[in-house]
Amino acid sequence: MYVDMLATLTTTDAADEIFLYAEKLLERSAGLSQLADRPEPWYAAGIYHQCAADMADGNFAHVHRESSRRYLARALEVCPHFGPAWIALGRSFAVNDETERAIQAYRSATKHCPEWHMPWLLIGMEHLRVGHSESYSGQGVHLEHATALTYLERAKDLTPIDSEVRNQIGIYHSKSGDHEQAIKSFIEAIESENSRKHGRVAVAQTKNFARYQNNLAFSLCQNGQLEEAAEACQKALKAAPNGNCAEAMESHQMLAFVLSKQGRPSQAIDHYHQAIGIGEKARGNVSTRAAHSLVNRLMRNISRDGIPGCLSMENLVRHVESQMAVD
């Protein structure tokens, strides 16, 4: 029933295609008793509502998320061993910060599909996310963060060539402060992604490639390799399938940060503003507000004589602020 296709569509923001596919399956299941006893139609409907929830706000997101869980629960009622439904159910909990329930669902998937790397990867990612938030609350490197590597390594053992596993291991090392090891893992993720054939998932692959290059750029920058970091940012910008996507916004912000560390403030400000422009179109992403703050800080650090060949500092500030108001 093309479960792999559904997983692919989920990563390419193709909610309309998922809806049509789910509707077709449910219509067929109504007329065919053998199909009604299969989990795929209910799983497809659950995935559609999950994608719709990701794109909605407030009560609309809540309604779609509850509908998604009902359909996924029905899929698991029909077939408790259907791993993809456990994964989707866990994801619906994870996006609501219901970590324990998410991990419980992922663990159920490992029991029913022990040789599938995906649930192990997602458990590791959830531990990594929780551990990272705890470390930012002032508790240092949290136990959850340390536990993440165990699950990520298990996923790597099951699927050594998976690029996302390598990427998440790189994120683990980056957040642990081991940027040399992080750089190695991100490069492995990029090489693995490059080796994949482009087909239906071309958009998803280029978005992944851009994400991995952004992560590599961050660790290179933290490791003092500024030229290499700037090059990685440029590759990410070229790979981003849409100039207004989140990956492009991150690339502009990362490149601006690198340029500011290189002592090139005017170019840094330009890229910060490109990031801000993208973020404003995405309904005021938190990263956009951070970029506003960084622009202001960077401009305050420029000498009062201004940038050679540009407006004076006073006029530059006024000009940038007026542009922000217009945007």
Q: Is residue 260 part of a domain?
A: no
pTM: 0.76
Q: Is residue 235 part of a domain?
A: no
Residue found under tokens 């305050």: 300
Distance (Å, rounded) from C-alpha 196 to C-alpha 194?
A: 5
Q: Which domain holds residue 89?
A: 1-53+62-113
The full 3-state SS of 229-257, as one line of letters, equals HHHHHHHHHHHCCCCCCHHHHHHHHHHHH
Residue found under tokens 């719709």: 52
Distance (Å, rounded) from C-alpha 186 to C-alpha 205?
A: 15
Whichever domain contains 87, its CATH number is 1.25.40.10
Q: Is residue 11 part of a domain?
A: yes
Q: Is residue 19 part of a domain?
A: yes
Q: How far is CA 163 from the centre of its chain?
A: 13
Q: Is residue 304 part of a domain?
A: no
Distance (Å, rounded) from C-alpha 168 to C-alpha 175?
A: 11
Q: What is the mean pLDDT of each run of 10 residues along the chain (327 residues)?
A: 43 51 56 64 82 77 86 89 91 90 94 92 92 50 76 95 94 94 97 71 71 96 96 92 78 93 92 85 52 53 42 43 44
Please give the angle made by the CA atoms of 6, 117 and 8, to the nearest 5 degrees.
Answer: 20
DSSP readout, 86-128?
HHHHHHHHHTTT-HHHHHHHHHHHHHH-TT-HHHHHHHHHHHH
Identify the pLDDT of residue 285: 46
Distance (Å, rounded) from C-alpha 93 to C-alpha 88?
A: 9
Q: How far is CA 287 from the centre of its chain?
A: 13
Q: How many CB atoms lie within 10 A of CB 283?
A: 8
Question: Tokens at residue 189, please?
Answer: 């993720």
Nearest to 173 by CA among 155, 157, 153, 192: 153
Model pLDDT for residues 240-275, shown as the tens digit of each residue: 866 667 888 999 999 999 999 999 999 999 998 898
Q: Is residue 255 part of a domain?
A: no
Q: How many domains does the chain have?
A: 1
Q: Is residue 43 part of a domain?
A: yes
Distance (Å, rounded) from C-alpha 66 to C-alpha 311?
A: 54
Which residues contact residue 135 at a Cβ distance below 8 angstroms, ignoring those fewer than 6 apart?
A: 141, 142, 145, 175
Identify the pLDDT of residue 227: 97
Question: Tokens at residue 285, please?
Answer: 């992403």
Identify the pLDDT of residue 126: 94
Which residues contact residue 235 at a Cβ distance below 8 angstroms, ignoring those fewer than 6 apart?
A: 213
Whether the Cβ atoms of residue 139 and residue 170 lie closer than 8 Å to each other: no
Which residues contact residue 312 at a Cβ distance below 8 angstroms, ignoring those fewer than 6 apart?
A: 305, 306
Model pLDDT for residues 157-171, shown as the tens digit of each residue: 999 989 999 999 999
Question: Tokens at residue 110, please?
Answer: 């490992």
Q: Is residue 22 part of a domain?
A: yes
Tell me how far CA of residue 95 lies from CA of 51, 102, 107, 160, 267, in angstroms.
12, 9, 17, 27, 36
Which residues contact residue 70 at a Cβ distance below 8 angstroms, ignoring those fewer than 6 apart?
A: 46
What is the residue type of 127? H
Identify the pLDDT of residue 316: 41
